[in-house]
Amino acid sequence: MKTEVNSFLSSDGKHRLPTVTWLPETGVKPKAILQIVYGMAEYAQRYEPVAEYFTSQGFIVATHDHLGHGGAVRSDKEYGYFGPKGAEHLIADTYARTQQLQDHYPNTPIYLLGHSMGSIIAALYMAQHWYAVHGLILMGSVYLPPILPPLMPLIRLKARITGRQPDRLLNAAAFGPYSRRFDHHDFFSWLSSDADSVARYEADPKLGFTFTTNGFLTLFTLLTDQEKMQWYRQLPKDFPILVTSGQLDAVGDFGKEPKTIAENLTHDGFVNVLEKQWPDLRHELFFEKDKPAVEAYLANWMLANLGNHPL
């Protein structure tokens, strides 16, 4: 596997966003590109172990750091801060990364994989730029609590006052309940059933940081927009879509949210929608005990759909 690192200017006009592209060995013609849009409080280089498998199967794997994440931050105070138009920038930056990949690897199909917060970004991306990618994978979809939309005016007000400050109150309210079904002594036990994976997550200062109030407002804006927009209405009915999660994923209300997404798509006439839930697995499928099975399943799905929906 070869690794290429670069960067591009965010749509905010201020920050450069690091990119990582992992390539198959020299001489191997890439079958497709897997563009990963990662979740909240992660960073691009974390996905190197994931890339090792997919590049061995002939895929290019590519990702980038969001605003407020990884190498995009210029000081610790920028972690979890997106700016006034954060939701717009996250979507625009993801599309800019797609365009970069199209320029570097023309005529190579791109699959867009969004995990957790990234699944929301990917869905809203599809409403505007579906034509740029060959298929969509929504992993670890996020459930919208009914209480959230009525609270949005208060969160907007709070963001105007304390927007740049880490918001421990919203952090506890948003994520505290997730661990109730698991180990109460471990705040991040909902992430994975693999205790070693959770321990590595907790030990990495670039993971699991607390979002600012602006960060939470951006996240909640994306989530409520996804619910309102019916993002899939512009897509061709044969567009390949895979919705996958762990059955014990608290973020998706233990399988209910991915099932609802798949049912809504099917009800709307989509004929190439597949839902796959993984028994006993939690939120981060790429960092679970059954990671090899998850990776193989995704690779097979992408290969099976290379003949569908030609661009």
Q: What is the pLDDT along the chain (311 residues), one digit of tens a residue?
A: 999 999 999 999 999 999 999 999 988 899 999 999 999 999 999 999 999 999 999 999 999 999 999 999 999 999 999 999 999 999 999 999 999 999 999 999 999 999 999 999 999 999 999 999 999 999 999 999 999 999 999 999 999 999 999 999 999 999 989 988 887 668 899 999 999 999 999 999 999 999 999 999 999 999 999 998 889 999 999 999 999 999 999 999 999 999 999 999 999 999 999 999 999 999 999 999 999 999 999 999 999 999 765 44
Query: What pLDDT does 311 receive?
Result: 42
Beta bridge partners of 18: 7
Report the side by side order of strands in the sheet with 32-37.
Answer: 2-9, 16-23, 59-64, 32-37, 110-115, 135-139, 241-246, 273-278
- Between CA 64 and CA 263 the distance in angstroms is 31
Torsion of CA 172, 178, 183, 189, to 10 degrees: -90
Are the C-beta atoms of residues 264 and 258 closer than 8 Å to each other?
no
Are the C-beta atoms of residues 10 and 16 closer than 8 Å to each other?
yes
Arch. (CATH architecture) of 2-304:
3-Layer(aba) Sandwich (3.40)
Element (H, E) at 296: helix 291-304
CA-to-CA separations, 243 to 57, 112, 137, 273, in angstroms, rounded: 21, 12, 6, 8
Neighbours of 84 (CB within 10 A): 13
Burial of 13 (0-12, 13-18, 19+ CB in 10 A): exposed
Query: What pLDDT does 182 receive?
Result: 85
**3-state SS class at 147:** coil
Query: What pLDDT does 181 receive?
Result: 85
Are the C-beta atoms of residues 218 and 208 closer than 8 Å to each other?
no
pTM of the model: 0.97
Residues belonging to the chain = 311
| Beta strand segments in 147-240, E | none
**Tokens 């109030």 -> residue:** 213
| Beta strand segments in the chain, E | 2-9, 16-23, 32-37, 59-64, 110-115, 135-139, 241-246, 273-278
